[in-house]
Amino acid sequence: MNRKQRRAATKLGPPASANSSDSGERIRQLFVQAVSHERARKFDDAVRAYRQVLAIDADHAEACNNLGRVLQAQGKTKDASAYYARSLELMPQLLEQYSGICATLFSLLPQLAEALRRQAAAWPRRLSLDDLLGDNFEAVATNPLFLHLLQSTTVRDVGLERLLTAMRHSLLKTAAAGLPAANHLVLFTCALAKQCFINEYVFAVTPQENDQVSLLGDAIANALASRAAIEPMQLAAVAMYLPLHAIPSSTALLERGWAPAIDDLLNQQVRDHMRERELRDSILRLTAIEDEVSQRVRQQYEENPYPRWVRAAGQVVPASIERYLREQFPTSAFTPLNKENLDLLVAGCGTGQIAIASAQKFLGARVLAIDLSLTSLSYAKRRTPDDVAPRIEYAQADILKLASLERRFDVIDSSGVLHHMADPFEAWRTLLTLLRPGGLMHVGLYSEAARRDVWEARKFIADRGFGVTPDEIRRCRQELLETPLASVTRFTDFFTTSECRDLLFHVQEARLNIPMLKAFLTDQGLKLIGFEFWSSLLQKYRGHFASSGWAWTDLDRWHAFETENPDTFSGMYQFWIQKP
């Protein structure tokens, strides 16, 4: 897989095992040799050199990725898949390159790509595994890259979702037969069950499947009560449709001996759930939550914590915030903080991704991460890596109540939160009182222009009276896919239950435009440092104004550019500002 630069500044770290300068230099030399051999298409030599790198440092993510690429060029697809999967395990942030990973997967498994085409043509009829893959099922079901993708991130395209929906349907029928299943069948069912848990069971379900799952679930509950045997395939099949912790007396499953794949499934769906419930009582309640809108937003995220991510970034090289901003905005001027220890507030941390990323990438960052939802905070606390956990404090609080907080911060991150408040600018002003003079703030707000199809989808949902239960969200998604509003699939949030609820069913959403941002920044005397973007979009903006001059911080120009290119800020307006 090819590596691309992302704005998130998660850079590959030094080899984990290279503790001496000698070993580090040896790894560097070997890696350079390997790259040179690869470019010269001397693949055997490249393989030997990359393997030498990995013999010294088994956790060298780039060497794993590149070795996979060379092995793929040699036609050794299963070995290539294993090294690709290992590189993703070491650097989960590479999963953000989802479309590229899928392209690699389909090139390694053309039979999977063909199955996707067959199922797309047959939908909504679910094809059987035999019709989809025939004799190729075992090769697909044991492919390391495919298995890793299923267990590590949400599937983010409709075609693959529908293929997996059909495969799940067929696997359920197999499990219902009650016969012992081949090991590869159980392993794949466990991997698909993990995918379904990650996406919170967003795949379409037929009434017949619901009936069959109810029967299997009751049989498992009865077997637990009577201490009878349970077929692993049946347990894994139920886990594809509902979390195992929802089965009565599910903790009794932990008292039995299971094969590693089933035991790992129990980690995800029972043990982790128990741990989050334990952590809930340990979280500090920093403020009351009395505002009516805040209470409704809290309730949404208690029911659907957002988002349910799987792995934190790995092998990140921390840098000063000044260096980060200079790399992001090379032509923008700002006043350096020049502090070794940053006090950083993440206002609206959700399930912890931004808090963890900030602690990882900013040197000396000490983070207070607040959110309305205890369920989200419990998820964040459980997921926080041990190496950054001492530098992150989680607390429940309402931004509107933070004015009484005696602490002040060098940096505040409030991305994707202010637009879920009754008055985003009131909340923004409150946060500014907590920012020290010269402090920096990262803000993310919805663009009115970029979310026009989201707004139309919200009208569609209201007109048809869809509620926010998982079943109604599932049905709504399938109906939207049959309309021109299927354009909302361009948002990755469409592909999990909690994120789809956040995208299309949110209890409070404000959408803004650049003139509104400009007016607020001017009124508050704030300095815009710049918008965060992919480099390709910045080049497009720069080229657009090449003849008349350009500036990253010219909001009038950005407004003109967005008017002509309304999808520019489809993610959000994401930008950095500095307080005088």
Kindly state which CATH superfamily the domain 292-449+511-578 is placed in: Vaccinia Virus protein VP39 (3.40.50.150)
Distances (CA, A) of 486 to 144, 188, 460, 476, 490: 32, 30, 12, 11, 8
**What is residue 20's predicted lDDT score, i.e. its pLDDT?**
58
Average pLDDT, the chain: 93
Domain with CATH 3.40.50.150 in the chain: 292-449+511-578
200: pLDDT strictly greater than 60: yes
Q: What is the pLDDT of residue 536?
A: 64
Examine residue 307 and say whether the peptide bond preceding it is cis (omega within 30 degrees of 0): yes
The model's confidence at residue 546, banded by pLDDT at 50, 70 and 90, is low
Closest CA to 3 of 99, 85, 94: 94
Q: How many residues does the chain have?
A: 580
Q: What CATH class does 1-108 carry?
A: mainly alpha
Give pLDDT tens digits for 496-513.
999 999 999 999 999 999
Residue 204: band (very low, low, confident or very high) from pLDDT cuts 50, 70, 90: very high
Rounded distance between C-alpha atoms, residue 86 and residue 66, angstroms: 11
Asked whether residue 535 carries a pLDDT value surpassing 70, the answer given is: no
Return d(Cα 580, Cα 573) in angstroms, integer: 22
**291-309: average pLDDT:** 95
pLDDT at position 6 is 31
pLDDT for 574 beyond 90:
yes
Asked which of 18-22, 30-34, 254-258, 299-303 is least confident by mean pLDDT, the reply is: 18-22
Residue 17 above 60 pLDDT?
no
The predicted-structure confidence for 321-350, as pLDDT tens digits, reads as follows 999 999 999 889 999 999 989 999 999 999
pLDDT at 179: 85
CA–CA distance from 244 to each of 148, 267, 268 (Å)?
Answer: 21, 10, 9
Instruction: Characterise 509 by phi-psi region: left (phi > 0), alpha (psi -120 to 50), beta (else).
Output: beta
For the stretch 142-161, pLDDT in tens is 999 999 999 999 999 999 99
Average pLDDT score over residue span 198-203: 98
Q: pLDDT class for 1, splitting at 50, 70, 90?
A: low
